[in-house]
Structure formats: C-alpha cells, structure tokens
Amino acid sequence: MNTTQSTRMLTTSGSRRQRLRVPRRRSVNRFRRLPLWIAVTVLLIVVGYPLIWLLLGSFKSQREFLEEPTWALPQQWSFENYATAWDTAGLGSALFNSTITVVPALFCMLLFGTAAAFALEVLVWKGRGAVLMIFLAGIMVPAQMILLPLFSAYFQTGLTGSLWPLFLTYTATGMPLTVFLMATYFRAIPREVFEAATLDGASIYRQFFSVAVPMMKNGLFTVGLVQFFFFWNDLLISLTFANSSKLRTLQVALLNFNGNFGTTQYGPLFAAVSINVFALLIIYLLLNQSIQKGLTAGAVKG
C-alpha cells in the first residue's frame, strides 16, 4: 500500500466520522431548543386564545352566550352584531370623533416634538440642558393631577362642549415623551452630517426638513405608533372632556355600551370590542418592520 492510498483511506474514514457527528449535533440542538418551543407555544396559546374567543363571540347570538359553552363555535356566521354595534350603539360616530381628534393631535405632537428635539440636540445654545430636563420632568407628571386645572381653563375660555380640549390635551401631554425619544434618535446621528449641510449653505429649516426628518423616518413611526395607541385607548381624558353623546370617543362609547341596550348584549359588545382590538392589531402588523428599525435606530451612535 502506497502513501496515496493510505491518505485516501484516512480521508474517507474521517469524512464518515464527520457525517455521523452532524446528525448527532442536530439532534442535540433540537433537544436543547425543545423547552424554548414549548414556552413559545404556551405563550401563543395564552395570547391568542382571548383574541380567538373574542372574535368567535362577536358572531354569536344572545341565546348562544347564555345556553351554549363558551368554547362552542357560532351556529350562524353573520355580521348582524357588527351592524347593531355600528348603528344602534353609535360606534360609527364615536370612531369618527376618535379619528378627527387623535390624528391631528398626533401630527402636531410629532412635528413640534421633533423640532424641539432637533433644537435641543443638534443646535448649540445656552440653557438647552435645562430645557431638556423640563421636558423630562413632564413625563413624571400624572394625568390625574392636571385634569382639574385643564377643565377649569377650558371652561373659562369657552372650549368645553367641543373636541378642542381633547386635541390640545393630547398634543401637550404627548410632547415630553416625544421630545425625549426623538432626542435619543438625534444623538445617534453623526454631527458631521449637519456640519456638511451647513457648509453646503443649508439653512436650519432646510436641515430639519430635508436632512433630519428623512433620517428620523423609522423613529417617527415608532414614536407615533406608541403615542397613537396611548391616545386611542385613552379613557380618563376623553371621559372628562367629551362625555356627551355627540362628542364620545370610541373608548367612552364602549364604556356606555351596556347603557344603550338596558341589558348586556354580549354579541354587539364583543363585535364593538373586536373592531377596536383588531383594527389596532392590523395597524401594528403593517408597521412592524418600521417599528423594529426605529427601536434599534438610537441604540448605537454613528
């Protein structure tokens, strides 16, 4: 036997051993991942079961709620409960009030908050650290503390009886967190970007709208969605300033849902809650990628 043949035999035996080791490693890795998959499955069941139960319940009749088991499927799949919730309970007008209040407040809050963060982090001027601390202190002020003074101010200025108090309160209460988060994103941008724009002759407004805002796109999506969920699901502020039937937002309408029917109508109630929950869930799923990018945008400087 020559040297070449012995080398081939050693190589062949070594490759066979490697082939035997690969399945063993894969089986070991699968066994190690088994607890993780079990935990993920349990978590999905815990989170998904209430959503499925809510969706199925929105198609059931009142008799099925009272006589059938809770896990039973609807006997008839119809959108009658959704139509009842939309028309009879005034869900359509409540949804309209929430939209025309939250969306403009969100736009103004993002515009002014991003501009304030740009001035605090990019521009150099005395006292910017103290101003930033004032905004940070606003995060720690509870909403319950400012409701009575705000209601008194709105009453004296004649704004009560309209949706203006909600718009102004949402814009003001969302500013501290928006300034804090957007300032964090601005810290991650190299200063050389704005210095180069200054050398090219760009004004402050041009740097803000043409340089800063496009780079903050993912951050704006993240902050905007967080604040949108907070404003949309708000009950305390909207119940204080918009409690009349014409000014009710979606959450206040859901709170007064039972009163509209006299008794608890579970089918229309589940349908109304499903409209609220699944609409927000769809919005989150559509913007999921932008949110993930925005959450990691300010993590690393540069």
Q: How confident is the model at residue 299 (pLDDT cuts 50, 70, 90)?
A: very low
CB 179 within 8 A of CB 227: no
| CA dist., res. 295 & res. 273, Å (int) | 29
Q: What is the value of pTM for the model shown?
A: 0.78
Residues 103-133: pLDDT tens digits? 999 999 999 999 999 999 888 888 888 888 8
pLDDT (0 to 100) of residue 103: 94
Q: What is the mean pLDDT of the chain?
A: 82
Residues 60-89: pLDDT tens digits? 888 888 888 877 888 888 888 888 888 877
Q: At what angle do helices 3-57 and 266-286 cross, to 10 degrees?
A: 140
Residues 205-239: pLDDT tens digits? 888 988 888 888 888 888 998 899 999 999 999 99
- Asked if residue 7 has pLDDT above 60, the reply is no
Q: pLDDT > 90: what percent of the chain?
A: 20
| CA dist., res. 144 & res. 297, Å (int) | 33
